Structure 1
Amino acid sequence: MKPELQVEKSAPLESPSPNYGTDSATNGGRYFRIVRASCAAIFRLYFRLEFQGVENIPKTGPFIVAPNHQSYLDPFWVSVPFPNPLRYMTWDRFIYMPILGHFIRTLGAFPVKLETGDRAALRLSLTHLQQGGRLMIFPEGGRTRTGKVMPFKSGVIRVAMDANVSIVPVTIVGGYEAYNAHHILPRPRKVKIIYHPPMILPVCQGKEEMKNALCDQAARLQAIVESALPINQR
């Protein structure tokens, strides 16, 4: 649903305005709870939605949720167990659509420029974490078109390190069969969401150590997410 953002490795991300994320539609208000409950009920029935490892979701503090990306519905499926919106990046054109845009903003979406990447969106992500929020990032940078997991990029690792937060790896199983890039409409296939124990990232000193850690931790994250997928989707 969103592109991988390129992060400069020479300096930490800067924080923008502290007013980021104060929109009432994204702070877990009554309207959000109604939309979330309605979506959850529909998803549980239509996709026989199942959750495993919900106990691995931290109860307090900021963190990043990092799922594989199989479907446009991934952000909604993954967000169901969370009482407050999980912020996530999406294509800016979706955000400004009259009905869809309001709906996904309510569920936590904020815009990123697909054509160029968007360093401002990265700064907003960092600020949200620093304010104690939770953020969803898809490390592949886009939906798989084959069902197989694409290589994880290191942007999610860099954001987590800069914000000093853990990453909760998430595996989405069945999302590709239910609603992939080749489907016009969703299909009633079973979808399972698996939340793995949080990854604690190392503290790095120096550019070379950081460069190595970004690659190593991205590979580690991908291995955890893939461990719960069928072999033909790894």
Structure 2
Amino acid sequence: MLYKIGKTICWFIFKPLYRIRVIGKQNVPKSGPVIICSNHISNFDPPVVGLTCPRDIHFMAKEELFHNKVIGSILRKVHAFPVKRGMKDRQALRDGLQVLKDNHTLGLFPEGTRSKSGELQRGLAGTGFFALRSKATVIPCAIIGEYEPLKPLRVIYGEPVELEDLRNQNASPQEVVDRIMDEIQKLINLHK
């Protein structure tokens, strides 16, 4: 319930403020496990992807945010779960796989942190792990523009990333995330 309320509030704030235009929402499957993989240029990216996606998204959020009881409680109610950055976090991996096992949508920023330059950075292998272990549909997403009032911001959802050949070849998680990042870069190049 809080997710839907938050999404509605964010939509009425962010849409006119950043003149958000959404392209390719039809590429997000209506059911089954889905991983949304987006570039990461701002702290506002999670709410913007969350409000533009046609499905509710479960995001990983850095563990430090959950140390505050109020913020942690709100984050959990909007489907976020903690991840320890800079190390292997087995609990976060289990939580993410459970989201997909339950046929929900997992939102990931494969770069792991915001890009200071705005240029797409190399993705981390954890995203490839989720794609390989879950066999979820992976949707690339590109956020293009700057978070400046009244300047247009575009959120583009691409077609599902073809990963079956990599799965059949027992590719590494890094090889999988490299392909996903290539697809995000193609969206950025196409819509600049």
TM band (smaller chain): 0.7 to 0.9
- Provide the identity percentage: 28
Q: CA deviation at 1:84?
A: 4.9
Deviation sequence 1:36-60 (CA, Å, 0-9, x none): 1011110101111110001101011
Cα separation, 2, equivalents of 1:62 and 1:39: 25
- 2:176 counterpart of 1:214: no
How far did 1:213 drift?
Answer: 4.9
- What is the Cα deviation at residue 152 of structure 1? 1.6
The alpha-carbon deviation at position 143 of structure 1 amounts to 0.7
Post-superposition shift, 1:126? 0.5
Q: Which amino acid aligns with 2:184?
A: V
- Contact 2:40/2:113 (<8 A) preserved: yes
* More helix per residue: 2
Equivalent-residue separation in structure 1 for 2:20 and 2:66 (angstroms): 26
Instruction: State the AA in 2 paired with 1:162.
Output: R
Q: Which residue of 2 aligns with 1:94?
A: 65
- 1:133-171 residue CA offsets vs partner (Å, 9 max, x unmatched): 110111111110111111122321221111111100000
TM-score normalised by the chain length of structure 1: 0.73
Question: 1:51 maps to which residue?
Answer: 22
Change (3 A) 1:129 1:87: same
SS of corresponding position for 1:41: helix
**1:146 matched to 2:105:** no
Distance of 2:184 and 2:30 partners within structure 1? 21
TM-score by length of 2: 0.88
Q: Structure 1, residues 61-84: CA drift from partner, whole Å, max 9, x if none?
A: 111000011111111111113455
Specify the structure having the higher radius of gyration (Cα).
Answer: 1
Aligned mates of 2:179, 2:167 — CA distance in 1: 16
Equivalenced residue count is 189
The amino acid that maps onto 1:219 is D
Give the superposed CA RMSD. 2.2
Q: Partner residue of 2:48? A: 77
Aligned mates of 2:81, 2:110 — CA distance in 1: 17
Q: 1:116 Cα deviation (Å)?
A: 3.0
Output one character per residue of 1:102-139: Cα deviation in whole Å (capped at 9) or x when no partner. 33333321111225341110011111111111101111
C-alpha contact 1:36 1:107 (8 A) present in aligned 2: no
- Distance in 2 separating the partners of 1:84 and 1:170: 14
Question: Which sections of structure 2, spanning at least 5 residues, go unmatched?
Answer: none
The structure with the greater share of residues assigned to strand is: 2
CA–CA distance in structure 2, aligned partners of residues 121 and 215 of structure 1: 18
2:161–2:183 Cα contact (<8 Å) kept? no
**Gap regions ≥5 residues in structure 1:** 1-28, 179-186
| In 2, Cα distance between equivalents of 1:155 and 1:116 | 11
Match of 1:109 among 76, 80, 93: 80
Give distance in 1, aligned partners of 2:93 and 2:173.
16
